[in-house]
Chains A and B, each alone.
Chain A
């Protein structure tokens, strides 16, 4: 597609439930990023893929968060045993190549509410 596509757009999960958020990056983009944006805050880095390799996961807040990109295109962010503090918008972004200075294109986000 023309842009970064994310699904679901909105998800309400009961505390303790597992959720999976999908990202379809722009076709051919090598780099893929996940960010978490809490209400009233700027996006915060979670993890980064170069093709299928997860090169940086330093931003994942706990071992309940897991991301994969098995074929170097679509990526899934999984959150196990969701907690209320996981409520946020999860943004996926991609760029054509790796390295500082490349334009990063964002999806519209997946809004997660944990009740």
Chain B
């Protein structure tokens, strides 16, 4: 069965620290992968997405993610986090051909000023 897993439930960092959030998927065939962010009290917003081509994908607000097919991973990275990055981050992948998504359970990021 298709699944997406996120290993870190809650990550606490100080400002300027580097960030890497893990995401692994279990799929067969073509994979489209996404990272969404949910700031407190706001709706889910797309950070970045991977369809094909360059496995290093750059998104908004300085975030990037690397698709590593051999490891079934799509980890999210940011070299230097800010307090405003405090949010919950969700990894997701396509479910079938309709464009529907399967989500991981999310990782809550707290950045201390």
Task: Give the contacting residue for A31; candidates B42, B44, B96, B99; CB below 8 A.
Answer: B99
Total interface residues on A, CB under 8 Å, equals 29
Chain B residue contacts of A42, Cβ below 8 A: 4, 90, 92, 103-106
Chain B residue contacts of A103, Cβ below 8 A: 46, 49
Chain B residue contacts of A86, Cβ below 8 A: none
Q: Mark B11-24, 1 if CB is under 8 A from A, else 0.
A: 00000000000000
Kindly state the interface size class of chain B when it binds its partner.
20 to 34
CB distance from A55 to the nearest CB of B (A): 7
* B103–A106 CB distance below 8 A: no
Q: Which of B53-103 contact A (CB under 8 A)?
A: 90, 92, 94-103
Q: Mark A4-22, 1 if CB is under 8 A from B, else 0.
A: 1000000000000000000
* A101–B104 CB distance below 8 A: no
Q: Which of A12-69 contact B (CB under 8 A)?
A: 31, 33, 40-45, 48, 50, 55-56
* B99–A104 CB distance below 8 A: yes
Identify the closest chain B residue to A42 (Cβ).
B103
CB distance from B37 to the nearest CB of A (A): 11
Identify the closest chain A residue to B50 (Cβ).
A101
CB distance from A72 to the nearest CB of B (A): 16
* A101–B103 CB distance below 8 A: no
* B99–A106 CB distance below 8 A: no
* B44–A99 CB distance below 8 A: no
Chain A residue contacts of B36, Cβ below 8 A: 106
Q: Give the B-binding residues of A (Cβ under 8 A).
A: 3-4, 31, 33, 40-45, 48, 50, 55-56, 91, 93, 95, 98-109
Q: Which 4 A-B pairs have the closest CB atoms?
A: A42-B103, A106-B44, A108-B43, A100-B94
15 contacts between A and B (CB under 8 A): A33-B100, A42-B4, A42-B105, A43-B90, A56-B96, A95-B99, A99-B97, A100-B30, A100-B96, A100-B99, A101-B32, A101-B49, A101-B94, A101-B99, A106-B44
